[in-house]
Structure 1
Amino acid sequence: MSGQHMFDPEQEAEDQRISTVSTESQGYPALVWRRFRKSVPGMIGLVLVGTLLFVSVFASFFAPMDPKKPYSAFIRPDRISFHDTHRGWRPWPVLYRITETDEFDPITYQPITGPDMENPVPIRLFGKSWNYRLFGLIPTSRHFIAAGDGGEIHILGTDKLGRDIFSRAITGSRISLAIALISISFITTIGTLVGIASGYIGGRFDLWMQRVVEVILAFPQLPLYLALATLIPVTAPSWLFLTFVVLVIAGLGWAQLSREVRSKTMSMRRIDYVRAAMAVGAGDGRIILRHVLPNVLSHVIVSVTLGIPSIVLLESFLGFLGFAVKPPMISWGLMLQDAGTFSVIGSYPWILSPVAFVLLTVFAFNALGDGLRDAVDPY
């Protein structure tokens, strides 16, 4: 038996324990996730994007006040503190409402306001507030946070009509993110299909298709957005404005992605395994679905995550100008209309609070896209 290798189970177990190389094969998604989770900005962006989407889906639950109900105009944001004037420091924050004092401003002669430090209000989790229907079906009045005394809570104050800004910003995330996600879905589908078809088929089809793409890219987008938005009557319903904005953004946004996908597809056609598939008689559909599309998909995913912030910014800008969402719908851009004058910003700076939600969304998707770009790139 000297010429044969004797199997030693203890030695085999010791070798597997010492070895640092994984014996299991990993697919491309597993390798991408392995590299992506090492990116700190990418993981932060993933958590923020997941949180934004979760909050937007359950917006009514996270909105402590009715976003459409008018309260007192231009109420200052309530003070949130972990210090109770009666009990000292607390593990859970309390609320101090802003009230008017007996003093007057010597310049404006308006009553000076300040927090009512003598009457702290506890903030309760899953407390009761305004009534709503969860998913439009389940009637409830439970919310993530609510004032312990059942009264009002204005974390970011109110606007000129007395509507709670924090609740409106959370509710407005539905429209702003919905416009971005639906638009990017159309842009991705059209741009990917046109780009792959143009790069793979080539010839006269590619020649004419690229002329169409160049015409679309030649348009100055912002003036065209404004010109097309004015075609809808002011009295048109809100859903018509919303549909039109999505179609305009998608109609002008797919061209750039198709040009990028086309260049990637043309380089894929010259790879050996694609030529081998052509040589053995594989159909064009099989080659595109099995060989071209998986290699182009990584670039498309990164383009999607980097394109959503641009659409959010565009919707905010168009909403600020009054060319996007119309009341009674709520979006971040529509909320920024109240901050159109310097006098309002100077006197009521909390009106600019929706800008923070826009910045947070843009940062989250940009960080996620940057982490994905590093993870899917093998070089």
Structure 2
Amino acid sequence: MDTQDANKWEEGEDTRISSANSESQSYAKLVWRRLRKSVPGMLGLMLVVSLLTVSLFAPFFAPLNPKAPNVGFQPPDKISWYVPDEGWRLFPVSFPIVESDELDLVTYQPLTGPDYTNPRQLALFVKGWEFKLFGITWDRHFIGTTDGSPLHILGTDKLGRDILSRGIIGSRISLAIALSSIALITVIGTLVGITSGYVGGRFDMWFQRFVEVVLAFPQLPLYLALATLIPVTAPSGLFLTFVVLVIVGLGWAQLSREVRSKTLALRQVDYVRAAMAVGASDRRIITRHILPNVMSHVIVAITLGIPTIVLLESFLGFLGFAVKPPLMSWGLMLQDAGTFSVIGSYPWILSPVGFVLLTVFAFNALGDGLRDAIDPY
């Protein structure tokens, strides 16, 4: 390469660099650009979107009526692409689990296995039980059998109700409690934390003593004590509202403490001091300078706080203090797995644990990805 070609190449490179630098990107675009490079973050985002979609259209994705009883515990159907004596299928088939005439030599219980003589073809968008979605009556479901026979992908509970359908419908209650609780916790904790850190002085000192008192309470015994205050005969809506208020009443203090520490640091930066010097109102300083800078921490706190509330609701529901029948939630479904004998004989009854683990992993992965993408350093 001669000198003239080298100069042209350098000029071309400078032109490319200057044109790239001249394209301004917003903060949201920079965050999205960083998040796309995070494999766990994108995986968590896709799982969260899928969970919210399934929860929103839960009756469509539930193959069976979650309240329809049957004969009791039934193992999950075997799903396969291969049919004996027939060969491979392009779409999977389901084999129901039936009892044989042979007995187990240890337990003397009838042996069970798939009925290969009765394959049932699976299909998408099949007809099933009727439900109402957004005021419209539907009878189509995402997956099912072509002959309309029951499909139990995860088996049934002690009353013969389909576990997969109940888990999909129960996601509405579990996620609704988590999302509504975290929304109130975020609003209260952010406003209180910014106000306390910005005002400072004696108000901040005394208010932080109150926050410390709230944080000093042992949360789990207090949850159980407060949950027992509402009568068992109370309406389901009132009971859920009380559960959300209890979670919010004990959960806002930690977020407010974190937001306060951020506000104390931001109050000393040059652009906030300049705004104070030119006579900007406190409302403008908080909404235009402080709040946007603490929102990155708040967003990460939201994604990491939702799994905590999901786990808490599952635990309280397992103890019978969160959701009451006929409502459905993941914690309430786990009540059937309260004894070792049930778990040993019917291990598929633990399937709701998978819903909880998937939700916790999805939001934690998304929170980790957002934390790295939002961090300006």
Q: TM-score, normalised by structure 2?
A: 0.95
Equivalents in 2 of 1:22, 1:79: separation in Å?
A: 57
Q: 1:222 aligns with which of 207, 220, 223?
A: 220
Q: What is aligned with 1:247?
A: 245
Count the aligned residue pairs. 368
Amino acid at match of 1:55: V
Equivalents in 2 of 1:370, 1:53: separation in Å?
A: 19
Equivalents in 1 of 2:179, 2:13: separation in Å?
A: 51
Q: What is aligned with 1:81?
A: 80
Q: What is aligned with 2:205?
A: 207
Equivalents in 2 of 1:93, 1:271: separation in Å?
A: 62
SS in 2 for 1:212: helix
Give CA-to-partner distance per residue, 1:233-276, whole Å, 9 cap, x none.
11112112111110000000000000000000010010000000
Q: What is aligned with 1:284?
A: 282
Residues 1:298 and 2:281 are matched in the alignment: no
Q: 1:80: Cα distance to partner? A: 0.6
Give CA-to-partner distance per residue, 1:3-37, whole Å, 9 cap, x none.
xxxxxxxx999975687834310111111111111
Q: 1:131: Cα distance to partner? A: 1.0
Once the two structures are overlaid, the 10-residue window that deviates more, 117-126 or 41-50, is: 117-126
Amino acid at match of 1:226: L
Residues 1:46 and 2:18 are matched in the alignment: no
Give CA-to-partner distance per residue, 1:335-365, whole Å, 9 cap, x none.
0000000000000000000000000000000
Q: What is aligned with 1:92?
A: 91
Q: What is aligned with 1:71?
A: 70
Contact 1:101–1:112 under 8 Å retained in 2: yes
In structure 2, the gaps of 5 or more residues are 1-9
Percent sequence identity over aligned pairs: 74
Residues 1:138 and 1:202: Cα distance change in structure 2 (over 3 Å) = same
Amino acid at match of 2:121: P
Equivalents in 1 of 2:354, 2:306: separation in Å?
A: 17
Amino acid at match of 1:327: P
Equivalents in 1 of 2:349, 2:53: separation in Å?
A: 25
Contact 1:94–1:123 under 8 Å retained in 2: yes
Detail structure 1 runs of 4+ shifted over 4 Å in the superposition: 11-20
Residues 1:18 and 1:235: Cα distance change in structure 2 (over 3 Å) = closer
Q: 1:109: Cα distance to partner? A: 2.6
Equivalents in 2 of 1:45, 1:143: separation in Å?
A: 26
Residues 1:144 and 1:219: Cα distance change in structure 2 (over 3 Å) = same
Equivalents in 2 of 1:155, 1:237: separation in Å?
A: 33
Q: What is aligned with 1:37?
A: 36
Amino acid at match of 2:261: S
Residues 1:114 and 2:120 are matched in the alignment: no
Give CA-to-partner distance per residue, 1:199-239, whole Å, 9 cap, x none.
00111211121111011000000000000011111111211
Q: 1:128: Cα distance to partner? A: 0.6
Equivalents in 2 of 1:20, 1:331: separation in Å?
A: 54
Contact 1:184–1:307 under 8 Å retained in 2: yes
SS in 2 for 1:124: strand
SS in 2 for 1:127: strand
Contact 1:72–1:158 under 8 Å retained in 2: no
Equivalents in 1 of 2:107, 2:55: separation in Å?
A: 40
Equivalents in 2 of 1:360, 1:22: separation in Å?
A: 41
SS in 2 for 1:126: strand
Once the two structures are overlaid, the 10-residue window that deviates more, 13-22 or 248-257, is: 13-22
Q: 1:330 aligns with which of 310, 328, 331?
A: 328
Alignment map for 1:1-379 (pairs within 5 Å): 21-135=20-134, 137-379=135-377
Contact 1:85–1:120 under 8 Å retained in 2: no
Equivalents in 2 of 1:236, 1:246: separation in Å?
A: 15
Q: 1:129: Cα distance to partner? A: 1.0
How much is the aligned-residue C-alpha RMSD, in angstroms?
Answer: 1.6
Equivalents in 2 of 1:336, 1:260: separation in Å?
A: 34
Amino acid at match of 2:169: T
Equivalents in 1 of 2:11, 2:179: separation in Å?
A: 52
